[in-house]
Structure 1
């Protein structure tokens, strides 16, 4: 049955200034129930439930197990009376009910076509496949889906079809079943993947394909790290304080020490009377300043922001273009994959339904 539509209120009927400022959640937007459709849904869910109950009872009583059980319990006459007297009328009534379901399905299909419920007129039997198949005698159990969907629609309209504890218990067991099934599938997939990685060819192909597909991402990540971590440290060398000052001072000290340890220079300077020692001292001081200035000049030219960024791009591109035929790289990636699978497997093995907050009973 197509869901009934609800009309929205005009925008000027509820001005923003008149709404309460509290943070309480608005009530759920339930569709407006239609009395005729509601009554029809209730009648259909009762009729389908009775039909399925009679079908189940008839199938049980007509089975060989019931015949054997009746012989053990000495009620064979009562079972024979049912099989000879009530079985055929129930089958006939079930056939008429099946014809009614077929007619009702065609009528709803025509209504859906008239109201343009679906994008194409032939979508209805595919959406309601369980009803179409449920019209066949061998697949009458699928009518249970119709009853479940009607019950769900009534529940959405605010009518409690089943007691809330029953609903909570059904949800719990459905969640339990789905979780256990999905966990088994995931764990089996992980084990199969581990076995595939034990093959050297598969392992190498996996690493190559992974790195090849993600070279751009690897380059972007390495470039981001270099720009964030390395570039500021290198640019500090251009400053007059900090690392640049230490490097320049050490360079100046090295040149000053080199001049002081040059015996030929000292011998020639001492040949100059009176001013020789003074010239030697000044020359060492000048050498110290030259060393510092050279370091500052080199840092300023080599660590220019544009040139440094170009260097970072080249380094990142070189790392992203790394040859995958590398033992250390294979070992690293294998360790990462194994650790990831182990952690994922451990998380999957945690049975969430055992947690107290999952027990909605």
Structure 2
């Protein structure tokens, strides 16, 4: 139900114009209903039905139908009078930069007053403009009405479906061009990614360090024990190393010493790698990897040496975007 905010209406400095808006809105609704009814009455079937069932009403209305233009002209005279009053106010208040801008900006008011059947229905645009103006000044709240929610829902659904199809089509075309090695790939690589190599290196370095700190540092002891167990198991399965125990006197000692030494070396190496990744010292390592993926504009690149990994990365990113585009948000609002 459409409600009028009386407080905003009373406190408004344009109270007179809003009252005129309400009056014009009422006249427009009556006039449009009159136009629709008279258009319906034009059919002979309707006239014959009224003659048969409501002869008195048909006899009374038929002269009005024959002089419809005259009665419609009365409404037009009121609409034009209000139009010229607002135009004069716009000139006096200097609402627009030029005095003759008003009729061009409010063209629907002028065209709707032309007494031609197809143009009369353009008066609905004037109804929409008045309702929008009242809503803009918070005199009424259109969004609270069921009609608005119904129309807005299907409008948003239509626009989402249309835009999703367009975006998906464009992204598929971009993927196809990238696979063919079009200048778009070189543009992405040389003009977008290459100038931002330092930024990408810093971001990836930070993310790797955070991941290593969160995943490794709290589990350092458990990881070391796991690595030592795995190395010890692998060494016991090694045939050549198992033969050392057959050496006289020192065989078993040498075998156990080697197992402990190798396990400790592997665990220390892995631990050092993870500690390096968890610190800021990983930046140089990450930067080398990024530089290997992203070539500079001046660096030669043969067909065999094309950066296929980067192409695959871009295509997968576009696939992820297309997957998100395919999500129908409007369906989530359905009961």
- Shorter-chain TM range is 0.5 to 0.7
Q: Is the 8 A contact 1:98 1:135 kept in 2?
A: yes
CA distance in 2, matches of 1:339, 1:131: 48
Query: Does 1 or 2 have the higher relative contact order (CA < 8 Å, sep 6+)?
Result: 2
Q: Is the 8 A contact 2:108 2:126 kept in 1?
A: yes
For the pair 1:211 / 2:189, whether they are aligned, the reply is: yes
Q: Is the 8 A contact 1:134 1:143 kept in 2?
A: yes
TM-score (norm 1): 0.55
How big is each residue's C-alpha offset from its partner over 1:238-295, in whole Å with a ceiling of 9 and x where there is no partner? Answer: xxxxxxxxxxxxxxxxxxxxxxxxxxxxxxxxxxxxxxxxxxxxxxxxxxxxxxxxxx
CA distance in 2, matches of 1:101, 1:313: 72
Worse-matched range after superposition: 136-145 or 44-53: 136-145
| 1:148-159 alignment runs, 5 A limit | 148-154=128-134
Consecutive unaligned residues of structure 2, counting only runs of 5 or more, are 1-6, 211-281
How big is each residue's C-alpha offset from its partner over 1:29-67, in whole Å with a ceiling of 9 and x where there is no partner? Answer: 9852555334322321221111111111111111x3xx2
For the pair 1:188 / 2:153, whether they are aligned, the reply is: no
CA spacing shift, 1:325–1:126, aligned 2, 3 Å: farther
Structure 1 residue 83, shift from structure 2 partner: 7.0
Equivalent residue number for residue 252 of structure 2: none
CA distance in 1, matches of 2:10, 2:289: 60
Equivalent residue number for residue 54 of structure 1: 34
Provide the aligned C-alpha RMSD in A: 4.1
How big is each residue's C-alpha offset from its partner over 1:101-157, in whole Å with a ceiling of 9 and x where there is no partner? Answer: 234323321221121112333332233232122122332222223233334444566
The residue matched to 1:121 in structure 2 has which SS?
coil
Structure 1 residue 208, shift from structure 2 partner: 3.0
Equivalent residue number for residue 112 of structure 1: 90
The residue matched to 1:214 in structure 2 has which SS?
helix
Equivalent residue number for residue 218 of structure 2: none
TM-score (norm 2): 0.58
The residue matched to 1:119 in structure 2 has which SS?
coil
Equivalent residue number for residue 198 of structure 2: 220
Q: Is the 8 A contact 2:112 2:120 kept in 1?
A: yes
Equivalent residue number for residue 344 of structure 1: 325
Q: Is the 8 A contact 2:112 2:121 kept in 1?
A: yes
CA distance in 2, matches of 1:203, 1:343: 25
CA distance in 1, matches of 2:10, 2:332: 31
Q: Is the 8 A contact 1:190 1:345 kept in 2?
A: no
1:98 pairs with 67, 73, 76, which one?
76
| 1:97-176 alignment runs, 5 A limit | 97-137=75-115, 138-154=118-134, 167-176=144-153
For the pair 1:334 / 2:312, whether they are aligned, the reply is: no
Structure 1 residue 171, shift from structure 2 partner: 2.4
Larger Cα-atom Rg = 1
1:177 pairs with 128, 146, 154, which one?
154
